């Protein structure tokens, strides 16, 4: 059991999209270049993400993709499900025919692991991942997401109480 390239690349591409979405739609060519993911593979993934309502697309010059929902409302599990990524620790795909036509002795163990994985991935939002990445890179929040604060210099503040 492991997360395949499809799921890993979809999550990586969504983080990249969210980080670069501040100035309009993000091109798949840009994501491809920054993340070293095949453009044709990204096209397949983003077709599925668009059909799932996770991203919006804009055609034509200046077109590309943007997030369709607030980042806090998109979980890693949403992204993985959108690209049809199977996260299944059972050998039987949940059909309980692990040992020929019978359920194996460890079926409940692997089924519980599946539920725990989805619970965890559902608890992690795209906003969480973007914030972690921004912290690692030393980036501040995009201008449109920061609250506007007006600060006066100490000399002006003293002259204009």
Could you read off the pLDDT of 68-124 as tens digits, one per residue? 999 999 999 999 999 987 777 777 777 777 777 888 888 889 888 988 998 999 999
Same domain, 151 and 74: yes
Same domain, 45 and 118: no
Same domain, 21 and 46: yes
Same domain, 76 and 11: yes
Angle (CA) 137 12 67, round 5°: 95
Rounded to an integer, what distance in angstroms lies between the CA atom of residue 59 and that of residue 68?
15
pLDDT digits (tens, 9 = 90+) for 23-54: 789 999 999 999 999 999 999 999 999 999 99
User: Nearest-CA neighbor of 9 among 83, 63, 116?
Assistant: 83
Determine the 3-state secondary structure of 66 from DSSP: strand
pTM of the model: 0.78
Same domain, 35 and 70: yes
Domain count of the chain?
Answer: 2
Same domain, 19 and 71: yes
Same domain, 43 and 73: yes
């Amino acid at each position: 059991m492991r997360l395949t390239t499809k799921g890993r690349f979809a999550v990586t591409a969504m983080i990249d999209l969210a980080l670069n979405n501040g100035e309009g739609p993000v091109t798949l060519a840009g994501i491809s270049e920054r993340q070293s993911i095949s453009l044709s593979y990204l096209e397949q993934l983003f077709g599925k993400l668009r059909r799932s309502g996770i991203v919006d697309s804009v055609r034509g010059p200046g077109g590309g993709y943007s997030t369709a929902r607030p980042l806090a409302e998109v979980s890693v599990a949403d992204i993985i499900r959108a690209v049809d990524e199977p996260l299944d620790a059972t050998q039987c795909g949940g059909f309980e025919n692990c040992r020929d036509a019978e359920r194996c002795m460890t079926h409940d163990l692997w089924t519980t692991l599946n539920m725990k994985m989805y619970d965890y991935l559902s608890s992690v939002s795209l906003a969480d991942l973007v914030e972690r990445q921004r912290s690692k890179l030393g980036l501040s929040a995009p201008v449109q997401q920061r609250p506007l604060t007006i600060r006066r210099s100490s000399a002006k503040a003293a002259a204009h109480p």
